[in-house]
A = this chain, B = another copy of it.
Amino acid sequence: MKTSVSPDTFPPRGHEAKRVSIVEAAASVFCREGFAGANIDLISAEAGVSRQTVYNHHGDKERLFIAVVRDLTERCNAGIFATIATFPDQPVDLEADLIGFAVRLNRNCICSRDGKFLRKLIQAEGERYPELFAEWLEQGPGRTLPAIAARFARLAHGGHLAIDDPDVAARQFLGLVNAELQTTFMLGGTPREEDVLRSATNGVRTFLRAFGARRNVAVGERHPVLAEA
């Protein structure tokens, strides 16, 4: 018997494939019905697996739930960091580049299936599992927000933006580019691509009105323009 955490075969087959499909089905059902409303029979049916197999893999409902949250957190984090890697450090057209970044962030991380599921589970069950979601807070926002802030700090340092507090600016950036999607998110919906683009465009424009390095530079300020390595 192989322990098989391994990427020997992709997509995974047999035993491991079942584990994956169980966690995926469970994510969907927990998200749709909540922890209490979720039903193991429904999860196993949706996973195409017998109920006993669910118990064989995960022990009980609560441990399955925890596995689901950990899995979603991990995958969402990976998506966010991959997207942060596309942040425009040497912007050509700052407005267009930031809009692109905001749209990618939305599409790949916030509106994605995993993102939606994780968001809903945190909102619905966060208070019941304080340790679990403290872990999420630490691994998620606790690492991604500073990473985004660091990118804005670098843009500011390069003279492309006039930012005092990069951490606040990062949070405000996210608040702005999602400003028009709030009610859709509240209701658990997925905004249309065109709405994501509009919200990002309006948000970035406002962000740049507030933080864009202006032509008439104040006293002691480094001259912004394009020159850097």
Residues of A within 8 A of B (CB): 32-37, 119-120, 122-124, 126-127, 133, 137, 141, 162, 165, 168, 171-172, 174-176, 178-180, 182-183, 186-188, 202-203, 206-207, 209-211, 213-214, 216-221
Contacts and interface: CB of A to CB of B under 8 A. Distances in A.
B176 A176 contact: yes
Copies in the complex: 2
A172 B202 contact: yes
18 contacts: A33-B36, A123-B123, A123-B124, A123-B186, A124-B124, A126-B186, A126-B187, A162-B220, A168-B180, A171-B180, A172-B176, A174-B179, A175-B179, A175-B182, A210-B210, A213-B219, A217-B218, A220-B221
Given A123-B124, A186-B126, A34 B35 contact: yes
Contacts of A214: 218-219
Instruction: Give the dominant DSSP class at A's interface.
Output: helix
Contact of A176 (B126, B175, B213): B175
Nearest to A141: B183
Contact of A36 (B34, B120, B219): B34
Contact of A168 (B123, B127, B202, B221): B202
A210 B209 contact: yes
Given A175-B175, A217-B218, 20 more contacts: A34-B34, A36-B37, A120-B123, A124-B124, A126-B186, A127-B187, A133-B187, A168-B180, A171-B180, A171-B182, A172-B179, A172-B203, A175-B203, A176-B176, A176-B179, A209-B211, A210-B210, A216-B216, A219-B221, A220-B221
